[in-house]
A and B are shown apart, each in its own frame.
Chain A
Amino acid sequence: MYALSVSTLLPSRAPAEVGAREDTPSAPRDAADDDRTIDARIVGAIREGSRRAEEELYRRHAPSLLRLATRLLRSTEDARDVVQDTWVTALSDLGSLRDAGAARAWLHTVCVRLVHRRFRRRKLLALFGLDRTEEDAKLEQLASPELGPDERAELRAVDRALDALPAEEKIAWVLRHVEGLALEEIAGAAGCSLATVKRRIAAADATVTRLREGGR
Chain B
Amino acid sequence: MSERPLGDKLTKDLDPRAIDEVWDRIEARRGRARLAPRLALLAGALALVLLFVLRGRAPHEAVAIRLATGELLPPSLEAAPSHDIVLDEGSRLSLSAGTKLLPIVNTGRALALTMGPGKATFDVTPNGPRTWTVEAGLATVTVLGTRFVVVREEHRVRVEVERGHVRVAGLRVPNGSVDLVAGQWVTIEDAAAAPVRASAPPPTGPVPSSSPALPTSPVAPSVVPSVSAPRAALSPEPEWHPLAKKGDYGAAYDALGKDGIARETKRATVASELLQVADVARLSGHPAQAVAPLERLLAEHAGDPSAPQAAFTLGKIQLDALGNARGAAAAFERAIALGLPGALREDAFFRRVEAYAKAGDTTSAHAARASYDAAFPEGRYRAKVAALAP
Task: Please tell me if the beta carbons of B9 and A147 are within 8 angstroms of each other in the complex.
Answer: yes
Contact code string B16-30 (vs A, CB < 8 Å = 1, else 0)? 001101110110011
Task: Please tell me if the beta carbons of A158 and B2 are within 8 angstroms of each other in the complex.
Answer: no
Contact code string A10-53 (vs B, CB < 8 Å = 1, else 0)? 11100000000000000000000000001000000001110010
Task: Please tell me if the beta carbons of A38 and B342 are within 8 angstroms of each other in the complex.
Answer: yes
C-alpha spacing A92/B25, complex, angstroms: 15
C-alpha spacing A48/B147, complex, angstroms: 11
A13 to chain B, nearest CB (A): 8
Task: Please tell me if the beta carbons of A139 and B10 are within 8 angstroms of each other in the complex.
Answer: yes
Interface residues of A (CB under 8 A from B): 7-12, 38, 47-49, 52, 55-60, 62-63, 66-67, 71, 76, 80, 83-84, 87-88, 91-92, 139, 142-145, 147, 151, 155, 158, 176-180
Across the interface, B90 reaches (CB within 8 A) one of A7, A9, A38, A48, namely A48
Interface residues of B (CB under 8 A from A): 1-12, 14, 18-19, 21-23, 25-26, 29-30, 33, 90, 123, 125-126, 305-306, 309, 341-344, 347, 380, 383
Residues of A within 8 A of B26 (CB): 58, 84, 87-88, 91
Interface of A is mostly: helix
Across the interface, A145 reaches (CB within 8 A) one of B2, B33, B341, B383, namely B383
Ranked 6 nearest A-B pairs via Cβ: A180-B5, A12-B1, A59-B343, A60-B343, A142-B10, A178-B6
Q: A7-B1, A11-B2 are in contact. Are A80 and B18 (CB under 8 A)?
A: yes
Task: Please tell me if the beta carbons of B11 and A59 are within 8 angstroms of each other in the complex.
Answer: no
Q: A56-B343, A76-B18, A180-B8 are in contact. List 19 more A-B contacts (CB 8 A).
A: A9-B9, A12-B1, A48-B125, A49-B126, A56-B344, A59-B23, A63-B19, A66-B18, A71-B7, A80-B25, A87-B22, A91-B26, A139-B6, A143-B10, A143-B11, A144-B9, A155-B9, A177-B5, A178-B7
Across the interface, B3 reaches (CB within 8 A) one of A12, A63, A66, namely A12
Task: Please tell me if the beta carbons of A11 and B4 are within 8 angstroms of each other in the complex.
Answer: yes
Task: Please tell me if the beta carbons of A10 and B6 are within 8 angstroms of each other in the complex.
Answer: yes
Task: Please tell me if the beta carbons of B7 and A66 are within 8 angstroms of each other in the complex.
Answer: no
C-alpha spacing A88/B29, complex, angstroms: 8
Q: A57-B343, A60-B342 are in contact. Are A144 and B10 (CB under 8 A)?
A: yes
A160 to chain B, nearest CB (A): 15
C-alpha spacing A216/B4, complex, angstroms: 25
C-alpha spacing A91/B342, complex, angstroms: 20
Nearest CB in chain B to that of A58: its residue: B23
A101 to chain B, nearest CB (A): 15
